[in-house]
């Protein structure tokens, strides 16, 4: 049963990887083999190509290791007995299925592109993309050529020579997003935005109160959105959030799909569904699962004994719930107290001039100051993030003894973290603040909190759980809910505002069982030209790793070398797996 995988240069895996994370976007050709070939050909020789090639080799080696482990564990294993045990577990999970709630996932169609069409009607019927260096979205006319979000501009131009580049206008999208979300909240005041152009609603109560069927309700909602904004929205109607999100893509653009609310219907729907369609399963997970024969959700059952034996690598419970189509049906808006970090970053053509890099850092600090003021946050730990021209990502962090909100402080710490790394040639730089304090919380002020922290210098009072680092398009970044980032452009989308905590109602589900896909891994190392140097830090201040959330006891008051070394270590695959304490198959 042993398998040998040829080097990435001799397989289709690299070509598939180079195609990017957005290959399932609506409007793209079903057969993308020629498009993918062109993307690979155009990318050859670039730093991006070499970085992706390296990652593909690493993933190939990882698969080899998993296959050897599979071959070892099945030796002498009673597969029939294991299958019966898993069948019993499936029956238990099936008993948890809740079909009582009507969940809707709404997703604006090519949102940025269609907003630009309203502003410039001359773009109608033309192939255009929003953004230039990296596209945030593409019109449906451009998608026919294979152009998609997260794609480099020069690659998009090769696929579609007539492509028009349109400048990003965040204020325009934010204004329209507010109008759209206001409509959605008329149908569920506690709807949960999942970005500026999509969200989840529980319309159970609204349908009951207004004598509407789910289809009538959603059709009415879509009509209201179009009437108020001239924008179209697609929707999925299903018993839980995972299914609703999948269904919203079925009849795009400007359509809706209602999955029947019965166990047999859901299981039939899931059986032939490509595993990549599952929120939380990206390029890496797809290839790992494919290596053990899982291409569709139905294949999960076929290989349930192997998944049981390789639970640590693949996460048996998550896979079984995916097979059954069981997921959370709880829809609540984001809560302020759940916020773990706030940040800003800039992507640009590679630069190596120190003054130019510092100027970009100053722009980031200014934006971050504005965001922290608008949203009412202060923080104690600042993390510098930069991406080399080779697409490798690195972070450096520093914790200080006071709450900071101002550009001057952010820039000073950012420059202090940047200085030891120079000289650099980078294409992205960002700042993120963690260990947050809610300035809108009147129960205690910053001064009072500073005094308490000083008195309890060796106690980590906040115990903040930071979001895990993940590896997606050569970057580690936080993820919402159970999803991979669909593309590198998604992080540029403006965030929607959310309401207060929802009151308890009888129409809401009383219980929920959350299910997370196995988390992905990230590998990064210190660039050759950078050496760790001491950074000042407040006396007796403990530092928290922004990757694994661990509070470091050994970081001295005047030296941040230990913290940076720890962060580098956490960015390795094994450290992240250990820190998050769960099975990992990698979502990318």
Nearby residues of 54 by Cβ (< 8 Å), 6 or more positions away: none
**What are the residue ranges spanned by the domains of the chain?**
77-99+262-334, 103-130+163-260, 336-493+510-580
Token pair for 206: 């609204």
Class of domain 103-130+163-260: alpha beta
User: Are the beta carbons of 55 and 17 closer than 8 angstroms?
Assistant: yes
Strand partners, 103: 202, 238
Instruction: At 234, give phi and psi (nearest 5°).
Output: -105, 155
**Does the domain formed by 77-99+262-334 have CATH 1.10.150.810?**
yes
In the predicted model, is pLDDT for residue 168 greater than 50?
Answer: yes
Token pair for 362: 């100053």
What distance in Å separates the CA atoms of residue 420 and residue 459, rounded to the nearest whole number?
30
User: 3-state SS string over 100-143?
Assistant: CCCEEEEEECCHHHHHHHHHCHHHCCCCEEECCCECCEECHHHH
Mean pLDDT score, 487-494:
33
Query: HSE-up of 290 (CA within 13 Å, CB side)?
Result: 16
Domains 77-99+262-334 and 336-493+510-580 share a fold: no
User: Are the beta carbons of 14 and 53 closer than 8 angstroms?
Assistant: yes
Spot the catalytic one: 52, 116, 198, 345. 198
In the predicted model, is pLDDT for residue 490 greater than 80?
Answer: no
Neighbours of 328 (CB within 10 A): 20
What distance in Å separates the CA atoms of residue 10 and residue 56, rounded to the nearest whole number?
11
> What pLDDT sits at residue 521?
36
What distance in Å separates the CA atoms of residue 437 and residue 445, rounded to the nearest whole number?
9
Instruction: At 552, give phi and psi (nearest 5°).
Output: -90, 120
> What pLDDT sits at residue 73?
95
- How does DSSP classify residue 538? -
Q: At what angle do helices 283-291 and 47-73 cross, to 10 degrees?
A: 40
- How does DSSP classify residue 503? P
Q: Residue 527 — pLDDT band, cuts 50, 70, 90?
A: low
Q: Which CATH number fits domain 336-493+510-580: 1.10.8.60, 3.40.50.2300, 2.40.30.10, 3.30.1490.100?
A: 3.30.1490.100
> What pLDDT sits at residue 37?
82
Active site residue 216: no
What distance in Å separates the CA atoms of residue 102 and residue 333, rounded to the nearest whole number?
17
Residue among 138, 48, 153, 76 nearest 427 (CA):
48
pLDDT, tens digit, 9 for 90 and up, residues 276-332: 999 989 889 999 999 999 999 999 999 999 999 999 999 999 999 999 999 999 999
Q: Residue 481 — pLDDT band, cuts 50, 70, 90?
A: very low
pLDDT, tens digit, 9 for 90 and up, residues 546-566: 555 555 543 433 344 455 555
Residue 228 is inside which H or E element, if any?
helix 214-229
What average pLDDT does the structure give for the chain? Answer: 78
Residue among 499, 505, 508, 506 nearest 185 (CA):
499
pLDDT, tens digit, 9 for 90 and up, residues 450-465: 433 333 322 222 222 2
User: Are the beta carbons of 175 and 228 closer than 8 angstroms?
Assistant: no
In the predicted model, is pLDDT for residue 255 greater than 50?
Answer: yes
pLDDT, tens digit, 9 for 90 and up, residues 152-164: 888 899 999 999 9
Identify which has the larger pLDDT, 224 or 558: 224
pLDDT, tens digit, 9 for 90 and up, residues 98-152: 999 999 999 999 999 999 999 999 999 999 999 877 888 999 999 999 998 888 8
User: Are the beta carbons of 487 and 20 closer than 8 angstroms?
Assistant: yes
> What pLDDT sits at residue 524?
42
Residue 200 is inside which H or E element, if any?
strand 198-202
Mean pLDDT score, 2-15:
56
What distance in Å separates the CA atoms of residue 105 and residue 198, rounded to the nearest whole number?
7
């Amino acid at each position: 049963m042993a398998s040998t995988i040829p080097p990435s240069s001799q397989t289709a895996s690299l070509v598939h990887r180079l195609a990017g994370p957005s290959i399932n976007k609506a409007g793209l050709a079903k057969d993308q083999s020629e498009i993918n070939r062109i993307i690979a050909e155009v990318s050859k020789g670039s730093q991006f190509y070499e970085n992706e090639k390296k990652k593909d080799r690493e993933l190939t080696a990882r698969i080899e290791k998993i296959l050897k482990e599979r071959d070892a564990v099945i030796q002498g294993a009673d597969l029939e007995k294991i299958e019966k045990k898993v069948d019993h577990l499936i029956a238990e999970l099936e008993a948890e299925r809740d079909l009582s709630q009507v969940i809707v996932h709404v997703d604006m169609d090519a949102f940025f592109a269609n907003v630009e069409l309203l502003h410039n009607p001359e773009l109608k019927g033309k192939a255009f993309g929003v953004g230039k260096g990296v596209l945030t979205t593409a019109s449906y006319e451009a998608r026919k050529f294979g152009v998609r979000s997260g794609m480099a501009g020069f690659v998009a131009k090769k696929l579609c020579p007539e492509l028009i580049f349109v400048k990003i206008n965040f204020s325009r999208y934010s204004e329209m997003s507010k109008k759209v979300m206001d409509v959605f909240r008329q149908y569920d005041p506690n709807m949960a935005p999942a970005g500026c152009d999509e969200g989840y609603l529980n319309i159970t109560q609204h349908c009951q109160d207004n004598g509407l069927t789910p289809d009538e309700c959603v059709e009415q909602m879509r009509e209201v959105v179009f009437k108020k904004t001239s924008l179209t929205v697609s929707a999925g109607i299903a018993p839980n959030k995972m299914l609703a999100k999948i269904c919203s893509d079925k009849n795009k653009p400007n359509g809706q799909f209602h999955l029947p609310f019965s166990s047999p219907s859901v299981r039939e729907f899931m059986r032939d569904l490509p595993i990549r369609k599952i929120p939380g399963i990206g390029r890496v997970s797809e290839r790992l699962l494919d290596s053990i024969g899982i291409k569709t959700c139905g294949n999960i059952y076929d290989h349930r004994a192997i998944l049981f034996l390789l639970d640590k690598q693949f996460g048996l419970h998550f896979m079984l719930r995916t097979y059954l189509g069981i997921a959370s049906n709880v829809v609540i808006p984001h809560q302020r107290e759940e916020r773990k970090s706030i940040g800003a970053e800039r992507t640009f053509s590679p630069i190596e001039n120190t003054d130019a890099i510092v100027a970009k850092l100053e722009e980031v600090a200014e934006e971050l100051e504005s965001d922290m003021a608008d949203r009412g946050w202060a923080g104690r730990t600042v993390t510098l993030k930069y991406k080399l021209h080779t697409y490798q990502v690195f972070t450096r962090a520093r914790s200080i003894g006071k709450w900071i909100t101002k550009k001057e402080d952010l820039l000073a710490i950012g420059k202090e973290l940047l200085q030891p790394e120079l000289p650099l040639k980078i294409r992205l730089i960002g700042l993120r603040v963690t260990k947050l304090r809610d300035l809108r919380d009147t129960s205690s002020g910053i001064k009072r909190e500073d005094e308490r922290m000083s008195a309890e210098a060796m106690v980590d009072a906040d115990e903040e759980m930071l979001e895990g680092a993940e590896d997606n398009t050569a970057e580690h970044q936080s993820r919402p809910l159970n999803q991979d980032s669909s593309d590198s452009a998604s992080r540029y989308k403006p965030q929607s505002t959310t309401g207060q905590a929802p009151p308890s109602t009888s129409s809401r589900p009383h219980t929920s069982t959350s299910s997370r896909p196995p988390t992905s891994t990230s590998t990064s190392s210190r660039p050759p030209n950078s050496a760790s140097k001491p950074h000042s830090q407040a006396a007796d201040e403990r530092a928290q790793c922004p990757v694994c959330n661990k509070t470091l006891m050994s970081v001295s008051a005047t030296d941040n070398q230990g913290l940076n070394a720890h962060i580098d270590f956490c960015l390795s695959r094994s450290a992240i797996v250990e820190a998050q304490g769960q099975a990992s198959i990698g979502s990318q």
